[in-house]
Amino acid sequence: MSKNNDKLTGFLTGFIAGGIVGGILAMLYAPMSGKRLRKKIGQTKDDIIEDAAEYYEAGKEKAEGIIKEGKKKAETLINEAKKMVSN
């Protein structure tokens, strides 16, 4: 399970970093004035921060669900083991 989380984290990190670098390069090579470029970079930065926050929240919710599920399974296993020991 940890291996899958590491892969997902790596993928999301690479995806976000690639988006940032690609967006900045695209804006730097696009023909526009300095003022427009700075405004566009600011807007893109805000969009990226918003997207990253959404990914974080989605990941957090998924992790919380996995933790809850794991706790339930652990409780079930403990209860079954106690029953087996008492018999």
Per residue in 26-55, pLDDT (tens digit) is 777 777 677 787 788 788 888 888 888 888
Provide mean pLDDT across the span 7-23.
81
Query: What is residue 2's predicted lDDT score, i.e. its pLDDT?
Result: 62
Q: DSSP letters of 8-57?
A: HHHHHHHHHHHHHHHHHHHHHHS---HHHHHHHHHHHHHHHHHHHHHHHH
Per residue in 61-74, pLDDT (tens digit) is 888 888 999 999 99
Query: What is residue 3's predicted lDDT score, i.e. its pLDDT?
Result: 66
User: Structure pTM?
Assistant: 0.47
